[in-house]
């Protein structure tokens, strides 16, 4: 049984005899003909088995074969406009590798908890396939864009001695005798060191937050890509975010049309994503939210000084067709490392990029504080352990420069591009509050 041909390549083998190695996706029979659908990871193809065209042993093995049995078939490729995918295999021989019975995920509707419990099998389905292929393309687009822009990949550690994004969402790990480590919340602090070494850098890896919130946007383990630039400001971050997101959207539209169609994504909305993106001062965002409350679209009145909740982000992002960049938040709601607006020191030079259609924040970043004295004070005020940050303070002692960067959560970006409700489907094995398995 060789050589193997992948289903995605069948168009190059019309009229030839090929071998397909895969799994049984679905099967129909009508007496002396079987129509098994085979999937091999690259696609799904319909096969036709005539009782008269195969040996009695092969017919016996294929008749009543259970869903997701593994099998290898040999047959001739025929072009057929009526067949799903446009091609059919006229089977001449087959070998069942393992006959499966009672596959739990049937074509009927299942509840989401059941599907999440069977995530190891659920990823075989068409919809999950489409989403995870979009993710694959997003990751490639992210890397290609940053590489082309001259960013050097310098990955940050996952086991860290200190918090980056506040102490309330830290996962603690026992690190040998008496030492505590934390799973990283963000590679940013290390990016600041590598940016001083290489100029433009990025890290890309899993990040962790012990989020107690059960929302459609929160995972406890998610993948973040974080570019950082030396000699850069908040304006450079906004300019980079704009081109970065535009490049990702264009790449997905170019390579994943079929998947977006299967997901019933309205691609016209993605076609509109191009610079410039609206830039919205926090003061202005507050005004829009308060108006929204007066119009009855938002339950609570948003007060100046607060951080956006999920309904606020949803409302704001619904007001624009493109991602909107909200900048200059009150420093009190942002992380300790943010630089201040020299004209209004109560404001931090941070920016959040909110994806349209109600998806909310997908990028967070900004300009970092460059002054040693200011950072020492912030570490005190945030009650952070000074000794764990000594190395970080060195970056302000030895050649401190204005620098800036951002982080984008891959899952939130994929959820937006796919137009799906929840981030849990955008990662092969989601980790959430109450979900550590499979
Ligand atoms: O806004 P955040 O917290 O920013 C940082 O971590 C910065 N240190 C990044 C930097 O400047 N280098 O997180 C950045 C992004 C968010 O915009 C969101 O897309 C994603 O990370 N994110 C999450 N995604 C899924 N689940 C969660 N619990 C997330 N928390 C943040
Ligand atoms: Mg944020």
- Give yes or no: residues 91 and 131 share one domain: no
**How far, rounded to the nearest angstrom, does the alpha carbon of residue 54 sit from its chain's CA centroid?**
46
- Give yes or no: residues 92 and 163 share one domain: no
- Give yes or no: residues 257 and 403 share one domain: yes
Given a contact cutoff of 8 angstroms between Cβ atoms, the answer to whether 35 and 75 are in contact is: no
Assigned domain for 30 exists: yes
Total number of domains constituting the chain: 2
The CATH number of the domain where 125 resides is what?
A: 3.30.930.10
Task: Identify the nearest ligand to the CA of 164 by its number.
Answer: 1
- Give yes or no: residues 64 and 140 share one domain: no
Residue of 335, 323, 332, 412 whose CA lies nearest to 367: 335
What is the ipTM for the molecules in this complex?
0.99
Ligand 1 centroid–CA 339 distance in Å is 18
Q: Which pLDDT belongs to residue 260?
A: 98
In this predicted structure, the answer to whether residue 217 has a pLDDT above a threshold of 90 is yes
In this predicted structure, the answer to whether residue 234 has a pLDDT above a threshold of 80 is yes
Q: Which pLDDT belongs to residue 363?
A: 98
- Give yes or no: residues 86 and 140 share one domain: no
Ligand 1 centroid–CA 109 distance in Å is 33
Ligand 1 centroid–CA 204 distance in Å is 12
Ligand 2 centroid–CA 167 distance in Å is 15
Task: Identify the nearest ligand to the CA of 423 by its number.
Answer: 1
> Who has greater pLDDT, 107 or 380?
380
For tokens 């200190």, the residue is: 162
DSSP string spanning 83-125? Answer: STTSEEEEEEEEEEEE-----S--SS---HHHHHHTHHHHTTS
**How far, rounded to the nearest angstrom, does the alpha carbon of residue 407 sit from its chain's CA centroid?**
12
Ligand 1 centroid–CA 307 distance in Å is 14
Assigned domain for 92 exists: yes
Atom of ligand 1 minimally distant from the CA of 226: 12
Calculate the alpha carbon distances from 391 to 43, 192, 428 in Å: 51, 11, 36
Given a contact cutoff of 8 angstroms between Cβ atoms, the answer to whether 134 and 417 are in contact is: yes
Assigned domain for 339 exists: yes
Task: Identify the nearest ligand to the CA of 207 by its number.
Answer: 1
Residue nearest to atom 21 of ligand 1 (CA): 409
Kindly state the average pLDDT of the residues 184-212: 97
- Give yes or no: residues 150 and 227 share one domain: yes
Ligand 2 centroid–CA 305 distance in Å is 15
In this predicted structure, the answer to whether residue 317 has a pLDDT above a threshold of 70 is yes
- Give yes or no: residues 12 and 87 share one domain: yes
Q: Which pLDDT belongs to residue 338?
A: 98
- Give yes or no: residues 155 and 298 share one domain: yes
Kindly state the average pLDDT of the residues 175-181: 91
Assigned domain for 177 exists: yes
Residue nearest to atom 13 of ligand 1 (CA): 364
Q: Which pLDDT belongs to residue 1?
A: 63
- Give yes or no: residues 41 and 125 share one domain: no
Which residue from 156, 166, 186 has its CB within 8 A of the most atoms of ligand 1, so it is best to mutate?
Answer: 186
Residue of 355, 293, 283 whose CA lies nearest to 319: 355
Given a contact cutoff of 8 angstroms between Cβ atoms, the answer to whether 115 and 99 are in contact is: no
Q: Which pLDDT belongs to residue 2?
A: 64
Question: What integer best gives the mean pLDDT of the chain?
Answer: 96
Q: Which pLDDT belongs to residue 186?
A: 97
DSSP string spanning 48-68? Answer: EEEGGGS-HHHHHHHTTPPTT
Q: Which pLDDT belongs to residue 178?
A: 86
Given a contact cutoff of 8 angstroms between Cβ atoms, the answer to whether 173 and 122 are in contact is: no
CA distance 235 to 351: 9
CA distance 314 to 301: 15
> Which residues approach ligand 1 with their CB closer than 6 A?
164-165, 186, 188, 209, 211, 218-219, 222, 224, 226, 361-365, 405-409, 411-412, 423
- Strands 200-208 vs 152-153: parallel, antiparallel or unpaired: parallel
Task: Identify the nearest ligand to the CA of 360 by its number.
Answer: 1
pLDDT in tens, 101-155: 999 998 889 999 999 999 999 999 999 999 999 999 999 999 999 999 999 999 9
Residue nearest to atom 2 of ligand 1 (CA): 364
Helix 126-148 / helix 234-255 crossing angle, nearest 10 deg: 130
- Give yes or no: residues 73 and 29 share one domain: yes
- From 67, 98, 129, the end of a domain falls on 98
With cut-offs at 50, 70 and 90, classify the pLDDT of residue 381. Answer: very high
405 bridge partner residues: 228, 366
Burial of 198 (0-12, 13-18, 19+ CB in 10 A): middle
CA distance 202 to 187: 9
Ligand 1 centroid–CA 208 distance in Å is 10
Strand arrangement, sheet containing 172-175: 159-160, 179-183, 172-175
Q: Which pLDDT belongs to residue 84?
A: 84
Count of beta carbons in the 10 Å neighbourhood of residue 125: 15
- Give yes or no: residues 16 and 57 share one domain: yes
The CATH number of the domain where 88 resides is what?
A: 2.40.50.140
Assigned domain for 110 exists: no
Q: 126: part of which helix (H) or strand (E)? A: helix 126-148
Residue nearest to atom 6 of ligand 1 (CA): 186
> Who has greater pLDDT, 310 or 398?
398
Residue of 322, 327, 143, 155 whose CA lies nearest to 233: 327
Tokens of 394: 């060195």
Given a contact cutoff of 8 angstroms between Cβ atoms, the answer to whether 191 and 202 are in contact is: yes
Assigned domain for 1 exists: no
Which residue from 190, 224, 335 has its CB within 8 A of the most atoms of ligand 1, so it is best to mutate?
Answer: 224
Calculate the alpha carbon distances from 76 to 46, 89, 165, 199, 204 in Å: 12, 5, 58, 57, 45
Residue nearest to atom 20 of ligand 1 (CA): 409
Assigned domain for 206 exists: yes
The residues whose Cβ lies within 5 A of ligand 2, an ion, are 364
CA distance 438 to 257: 30
Length of the chain: 438
With cut-offs at 50, 70 and 90, classify the pLDDT of residue 85. Answer: confident
Ligand 1 centroid–CA 263 distance in Å is 26
Residue nearest to atom 28 of ligand 1 (CA): 218
Ligand 1 centroid–CA 287 distance in Å is 25
Segments of 248-341 assigned E as strands: 279-281, 324-330, 340-341
In terms of residue numbers, what domain contains 84? 7-98
Assigned domain for 363 exists: yes
CA angle centred on 132, ends 427 and 223, rounded to 5°: 35
- Give yes or no: residues 261 and 322 share one domain: yes
CA distance 185 to 252: 27
What's the pTM?
0.96
Q: Which pLDDT belongs to residue 230?
A: 98
Residue of 403, 169, 366 whose CA lies nearest to 282: 366
Helix 390-397 / helix 188-198 crossing angle, nearest 10 deg: 30
Kindly state the average pLDDT of the residues 302-307: 97
With cut-offs at 50, 70 and 90, classify the pLDDT of residue 23. Answer: very high
């Amino acid at each position: 049984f060789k050589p193997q041909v992948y289903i995605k390549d069948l168009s190059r083998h019309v009229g030839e005899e090929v071998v397909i190695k895969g799994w049984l996706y679905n099967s129909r029979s009508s007496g002396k003909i079987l129509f098994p659908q085979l999937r091999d990871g690259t696609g799904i193809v319909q096969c036709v088995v005539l009782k008269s065209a195969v040996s009695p042993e092969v017919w016996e093995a294929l008749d009543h074969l259970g869903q997701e049995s593994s099998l290898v078939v040999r047959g001739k490729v025929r072009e057929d406009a009526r067949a799903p995918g446009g091609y059919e295999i006229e089977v001449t021989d087959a070998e069942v590798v393992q006959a499966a019975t009672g596959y739990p995920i049937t074509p009927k509707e299942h509840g989401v908890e059941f599907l999440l419990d069977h995530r190891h099998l659920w990823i075989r389905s068409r919809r999950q396939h489409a989403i995870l292929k979009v993710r694959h393309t997003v990751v490639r687009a992210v890397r290609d864009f940053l590489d082309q822009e001259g960013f050097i990949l310098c990955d940050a550690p996952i086991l860290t001695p200190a918090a980056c994004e506040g102490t309330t969402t830290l996962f603690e790990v026992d690190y040998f005798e008496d030492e505590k480590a934390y799973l990283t919340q963000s590679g940013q602090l290390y990016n600041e060191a590598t940016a001083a070494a290489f100029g433009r850098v990025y890290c890309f890896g899993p990040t962790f937050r012990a989020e107690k919130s059960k929302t459609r946007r929160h995972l406890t383990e998610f993948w973040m890509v974080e570019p950082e630039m030396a000699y850069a400001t908040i304006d450079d971050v906004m300019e980079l975010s704009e081109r970065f997101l535009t490049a990702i959207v264009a790449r997905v539209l170019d390579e994943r049309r079929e998947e977006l169609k299967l997901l019933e994504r309205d691609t016209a909305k993605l076609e509109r994503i191009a610079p410039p993106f609206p830039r919205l001062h926090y003061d202005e965002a507050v005004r829009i939210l308060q108006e929204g409350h007066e119009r009855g679209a938002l339950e609570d009145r948003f007060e100046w000084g607060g951080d956006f909740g999920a309904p606020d982000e949803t409302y704001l992002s619904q007001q624009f067709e493109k991602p909107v960049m909200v900048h200059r938040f009150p420093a009190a709601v942002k992380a300790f490392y943010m630089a201040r607006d020299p004209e209004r020191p109560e404001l931090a030079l941070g920016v959040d990029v909110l994806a349209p259609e109600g998806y909310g924040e997908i990028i967070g970043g900004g300009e970092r504080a460059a002054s040693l004295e200011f950072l020492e004070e912030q570490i005190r005020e945030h009650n952070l352990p000074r000794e764990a940050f000594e190395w970080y303070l060195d970056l302000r002692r030895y050649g401190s420069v204005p620098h800036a960067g951002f982080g984008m959560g891959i899952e939130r970006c994929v959820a937006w591009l796919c137009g799906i409700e929840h981030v849990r489907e955008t990662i092969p094995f989601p980790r959430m509050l109450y979900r550590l398995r499979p």
